[in-house]
A and B are shown apart, each in its own frame.
Chain A
Amino acid sequence: MNKQEFTITVYTENHIGLLVRIATMFSRRKINIESLNTSPSEEEGIHRFTIVINEFEEVVRKLARQIEKQVEVLKAYYNTNEEIVWQELALYKVSTDEIAEKVQVERLLREHGARAVVIRKDYTVFETSGHREETDKLVAVLAPYGLIEFVRSARVAIIKASHGFHEKLREFEEATPGEEQVENEFLNKQDSVFTM
């Protein structure tokens, strides 16, 4: 088994300090976070972290369990790229003159699905979204024409097989959980636990 890209999805309470608590789980093990996004989730008041790392599955599995153990974390899932739908947003700033002068640039932008966000006399900001390779490609394409600024967001991902967090949350909110609740589902499947 080689290192590969994994996307860790963490459902948490929205509390100050939790970002550090989760980030130290990675830094303590000298694991570089490729991208990290925090946002609201489908459940009101529940936060969702989307973290991308490059690691062995064994390491990711243990990491997910350590994250889930934190008091304010409700659940942690990890998935390979095949198991998710994901996007990253990128912004590009180029000189407006350059675009106006060279028809080619406009064609290139259109080919890459870029959309103008702001058009000013001196510069224009375009956006694209997609996978990293796609947004990177446009950087390379624009470079010869003077790319003034470039920025890309963290990955946001949807788990294909997920039914959302609603039921799980109701389960967790029960003060006295019933027998039917599968809190220790990872023992069922041992290896493939944190994938839904």
Chain B
Amino acid sequence: MMETLIAKKETVEKQTQTINGSQAVLEAFVAEGVDTIFGYPGGAIMPIYDALYDYHDKLKHILVRHEQGGIHAGQGYARASGRVGVVFGTSGPGATNLVTGLADAMIDSTPLVCITGQVFAHLLGTDAFQEIDVINITTPVTKWNYQVTDATEIPAVLAKAFYIARTGRPGPVLIDITKNAQLQQFEYEGYTPCTHIRSYRPKPIVRKEFVAEAAELINKAEKPFVIFGQGVILGKAEKEFKAFIEKAGIPAAWTVMGLSALETDHPLNVGMLGMHGNYGPNVLTNDCDVLIAIGMRFDDRVTGRLDKYAKQAKVIHLDIDPSEIDKNVKTTVGVWGDCKETLPLLTKLVEAKQHSAWVQRFHDHMAEEVKEVIHAELNPSGEILTMGEVIRNLNELTEGNAIIVTDVGQHQMVACRYAKFNKTKSNITSGGLGTMGFGLPAAIGAKFGAPDRQVITIIGDGGFQMTLQELGTIMQNEIDVKILILNNQFLGMVRQWQQLFMDKRYSFVDIASPDYVTLAKAYRIEGQSVSKREDLHNALSTMLRHKGSYLLEVMVGKENNVFPMVPQGCSVSEIRLK
């Protein structure tokens, strides 16, 4: 009786206040712990920007130069911080400019909440000014999207948005809010975070019998091999992962998205998988007896030809997304669950072992790769600089402590292959979608996501020219990102393929560059360009020591290729060293 009375009293005292939809959006952000928004205003989102004017002490807004830059910055923020990135765009072109970033975030499982303004509800479907059907355009590239036409929905919808974006396999969520809903006054009862949606099960109860089956396979294995992806980072399970491989003594190779989850120098880190990965991990994939895939999705760039991929091996697949299990590679044991939970269970059941002879085989293959490829790439004897030696010099200066944000192409593969990492969440790149132009804006976001860390973006001359307008964002906000352009005066990766597979018919890959140093100067960003070996180390050091943003262009060999390479349509064991 007493209890009911108290309960009643509480309901009566429940405070409501009249606010508008725009304020409700920002209240949700504050409640969710958002600190930075990347965005660009416009007609249909003006009420939200008007409300934002009063929130400047709680929410930082970074005005980007293009909505694509805004969403990539949101991605960079999310990847560097492990939190949800938040992006604003207006209706129509503002919304369509987000599409590339949404697709990128979708395929790379990056948690984002994007808010787009929309025309008044009564104008929907009338071809009103800057009206576009953003919900239908973004359906295939969002984990969830929703159009709000009534402000009273906003608190619950935003709560759902954040919950969906960050739980389970993370992904981008887009909420489209009509202008009338942004302006509409309503009785606000406070913000309640979402913890359950009946149709959405972000993670399952871990089934111990499958973990036990997996452990049994691992304990019987002579040549077990771990391949891991971003799932380890997204699951914040780096420690659990390391404990597992160390106890079981299993060599581990990473996908591009998994890079930095395990430090480069770890004795069981045997390198990179896939098309431009290391020799040993690719060849020995087809030699191991138990393949343990953790938080990765067997992308075609990793597996090469599927019907010749690890056919001899029993496959264990740990993933939080059940639709990934058996999607590309048939598993012997699937363990559906959050690897933060499943890995410790597995570690408990595996026997402590050292597969020294097996691990040595990876080292032997590495020695061969060093001899055939790596030595010449990192310590070239010719006059012309290689991308590899730039990264080697950078490693010497950063000692593996920087966040490296790459764009897409040859420089990306070289950076992933050779950059050293000591800390997780340090490699930020567009893996699944391969979005040129990702690097510069993502680096901006990364700096806000990890303000205490050195952020270096390595970009090719092609990719830089896709989103260089974001230099304006760097200038205006004095963002400390170091921009390292590796200029080979070509769209290098496409040129490499044309050379190797299309008889050197260099069709439209010869791209001219502006004077990047002068360009940077126009944005009040200091910089220099080097092309000689004797200047390289100093130039990198100057860049890193410089207070604030800096642009360094390094002229590298025009027709250098990235090797090793698994040619498309070939098996991983047919990897070419030259």
- A residues with a Cβ closer than 8 A to B are 12-13, 16-17, 20-21, 24, 28, 62, 65-66, 68-69, 71-74, 169, 172-173, 175, 177-179, 181, 183-184, 186-187, 190
11 further A-B pairs in the complex, CB-CB below 8 A; given A65-B322, A68-B323, A184-B336: A16-B147, A21-B139, A24-B140, A71-B144, A172-B198, A172-B199, A172-B201, A178-B205, A179-B205, A186-B322, A190-B334
Residues of chain A within 8 A of B53, CB atoms compared: none
Our pick among A20, A169, A179, A183 for the contact of B136 (Cβ within 8 Å) is A20
Given A74-B199, A172-B199, A184-B323 contact (CB < 8 Å): no
Task: Select from chain A the residue with minimum beta-carbon distance to B334.
Answer: A187
Q: Are A69 and B139 in contact (CB under 8 A)?
A: no
Our pick among A69, A71, A172, A179 for the contact of B321 (Cβ within 8 Å) is A69
11 pairs from A and B in contact (CB 8 Å cutoff): A17-B139, A62-B326, A65-B322, A65-B323, A69-B321, A172-B198, A173-B198, A179-B205, A181-B205, A187-B210, A187-B336
Measured CB to CB, the closest approach of chain A to B201, in angstroms, equals 6
Residues of chain B within 8 A of A172, CB atoms compared: 198-199, 201
Residues of chain A within 8 A of B207, CB atoms compared: 184, 187
With A and B bound together, what is the CA distance between A187 and B334 in angstroms? Answer: 7
Residues of chain B within 8 A of A71, CB atoms compared: 143-144, 164, 197, 199-200
Q: Are B327 and A62 in contact (CB under 8 A)?
A: yes
Q: Are B204 and A73 in contact (CB under 8 A)?
A: no
With A and B bound together, what is the CA distance between A190 and B317 in angstroms? Answer: 13
Q: Are B164 and A66 in contact (CB under 8 A)?
A: no
Most chain A beta carbons < 10 A, residue from B139, B143, B145: B139
Residues of chain B within 8 A of A21, CB atoms compared: 139
CB-CB contacts of B314-326 with A at 8 A, as 1s and 0s?
A: 0000000111011
Check: B195 CB closer than 8 A to any chain A CB: yes
Our pick among A28, A68, A69, A178 for the contact of B140 (Cβ within 8 Å) is A28
Check: B532 CB closer than 8 A to any chain A CB: no
Our pick among A69, A175, A179 for the contact of B323 (Cβ within 8 Å) is A69
Residues of chain B within 8 A of A74, CB atoms compared: 198-199
With A and B bound together, what is the CA distance between A74 and B198 in angstroms? Answer: 8
Residues of chain A within 8 A of B147, CB atoms compared: 16-17
Given A28-B140, A62-B323, A184-B322, A175-B199 contact (CB < 8 Å): no
Q: Are A17 and B198 in contact (CB under 8 A)?
A: no
CB-CB contacts of B189-211 with A at 8 A, as 1s and 0s?
A: 00000011111110011010010
Measured CB to CB, the closest approach of chain A to B175, in angstroms, equals 12
With A and B bound together, what is the CA distance between A74 and B199 in angstroms? Answer: 4
Most chain B beta carbons < 10 A, residue from A24, A28, A184: A184
With A and B bound together, what is the CA distance between A184 and B201 in angstroms? Answer: 10
Q: Are B322 and A169 in contact (CB under 8 A)?
A: no
Residues of chain A within 8 A of B322, CB atoms compared: 65, 68-69, 184, 186-187
Residues of chain B within 8 A of A24, CB atoms compared: 139-140
Q: Are B321 and A175 in contact (CB under 8 A)?
A: no
Measured CB to CB, the closest approach of chain B to A74, in angstroms, equals 5
With A and B bound together, what is the CA distance between A17 and B146 in angstroms? Answer: 8
Residues of chain B within 8 A of A187, CB atoms compared: 207, 210, 322, 325, 334, 336
With A and B bound together, what is the CA distance between A28 and B323 in angstroms? Answer: 16
Residues of chain B within 8 A of A73, CB atoms compared: 199
Residues of chain A within 8 A of B323, CB atoms compared: 62, 65-66, 68-69
Give how many A-B residue pairs fall within 8 Å (CB-CB): 68
Task: Select from chain A the residue with minimum beta-carbon distance to B164.
Answer: A71
With A and B bound together, what is the CA distance between A189 and B199 in angstroms? Answer: 22
Q: Are A17 and B145 in contact (CB under 8 A)?
A: yes
Our pick among A13, A20, A65 for the contact of B139 (Cβ within 8 Å) is A20
With A and B bound together, what is the CA distance between A62 and B207 in angstroms? Answer: 21
Measured CB to CB, the closest approach of chain B to A41, in angstroms, equals 13
Measured CB to CB, the closest approach of chain B to A114, in angstroms, equals 40
Check: B475 CB closer than 8 A to any chain A CB: no
Residues of chain A within 8 A of B539, CB atoms compared: none
Most chain B beta carbons < 10 A, residue from A21, A66, A68: A21
Most chain A beta carbons < 10 A, residue from B164, B195, B323: B323
Residues of chain B within 8 A of A65, CB atoms compared: 322-323, 327
CB-CB contacts of B143-166 with A at 8 A, as 1s and 0s?
A: 111110000000000000000100
Query: Can you list the 6 inter-chain pairs with the closest CB atoms, starting with the nearest?
Result: A65-B323, A175-B196, A71-B144, A184-B204, A172-B198, A74-B199
Task: Select from chain B the residue with minimum beta-carbon distance to A12.
Answer: B199
Task: Select from chain A the residue with minimum beta-carbon distance to B206.
Answer: A184
With A and B bound together, what is the CA distance between A164 and B443 in angstroms? Answer: 51
Measured CB to CB, the closest approach of chain A to B531, in angstroms, equals 46
Measured CB to CB, the closest approach of chain B to A64, in angstroms, equals 9
Task: Select from chain A the residue with minimum beta-carbon distance to B330.
Answer: A190
Check: B135 CB closer than 8 A to any chain A CB: yes
With A and B bound together, what is the CA distance between A5 and B139 in angstroms? Answer: 27
Q: Are A184 and B139 in contact (CB under 8 A)?
A: no
With A and B bound together, what is the CA distance between A169 and B201 in angstroms? Answer: 12
With A and B bound together, what is the CA distance between A35 and B473 in angstroms? Answer: 51
Most chain A beta carbons < 10 A, residue from B139, B199, B321, B336: B199
Residues of chain A within 8 A of B140, CB atoms compared: 24, 28
With A and B bound together, what is the CA distance between A173 and B205 in angstroms? Answer: 15
Most chain A beta carbons < 10 A, residue from B136, B145, B164, B207: B207
With A and B bound together, what is the CA distance between A17 and B197 in angstroms? Answer: 18
Measured CB to CB, the closest approach of chain A to B505, in angstroms, equals 30
With A and B bound together, what is the CA distance between A137 and B321 in angstroms? Answer: 46
Our pick among B199, B204, B326 for the contact of A13 (Cβ within 8 Å) is B199
* B192-244 interface with A by 8 A CB criterion: 195-201, 204-205, 207, 210
With A and B bound together, what is the CA distance between A65 and B328 in angstroms? Answer: 13
Measured CB to CB, the closest approach of chain A to B218, in angstroms, equals 18
* B326-380 interface with A by 8 A CB criterion: 326-327, 334, 336
Q: Are B199 and A183 in contact (CB under 8 A)?
A: no
Residues of chain B within 8 A of A69, CB atoms compared: 321-323
Residues of chain B within 8 A of A177, CB atoms compared: 201, 205
With A and B bound together, what is the CA distance between A13 and B228 in angstroms? Answer: 35
Residues of chain A within 8 A of B210, CB atoms compared: 187
